Amino acid sequence: IQMTQSPSSLSASVGDRVTITCRSSQTITTYLNWYQQKPGKAPKLLIYAASSLQSGVPSRFSGSGSGTDFTLTISSLQREDFATYYCQQSYSTPLTFGGGTKVEIK
């Protein structure tokens, strides 16, 4: 299953609303996860099962979608949110990740 993220990068300001999209090449129902990765660090799970917020993750992060189209939204971008974000399908093996979206400071 191919996972396609868009955009591959974006520039935004603190306080902006940011939306990242992920599309799968076939239906994955809601078997979709989102991760955040900062330089030199391991990825961190933000959202699982398309819309469930992982424990400890701020509520400004939200996920939506089902089938083949999914969205990660950051409602009000904070300085610590500048990072790269990846979607991942857990519908079937081999598990696959999107190419990543780098969120940079405008």
What are the residues binding other proteins (CB under 8 A)?
31, 33, 35, 37, 41-45, 48-49, 54, 86, 88, 90, 93-100
Minimum CB distance to other proteins smaller for 77 or for 87: 87
Nearer to other proteins (CB atom), residue 59 or residue 93:
93
Q: How far is the CB of 77 from other proteins (least distance, A)?
A: 22
Q: Is 66 exposed, middle or buried (0-12, 13-18, 19+ CB in 10 A)?
A: middle
CB 74 to other proteins: min, Å: 20
Nearest to 34 by CA among 104, 101, 106: 101
Say if residues 51 and 68 touch (Cβ distance below 8 Å): no
Quick count: other Cβ atoms within 10 Å of Cβ 23?
16
- Rounded least distance, CB 13 to other proteins, Å: 25
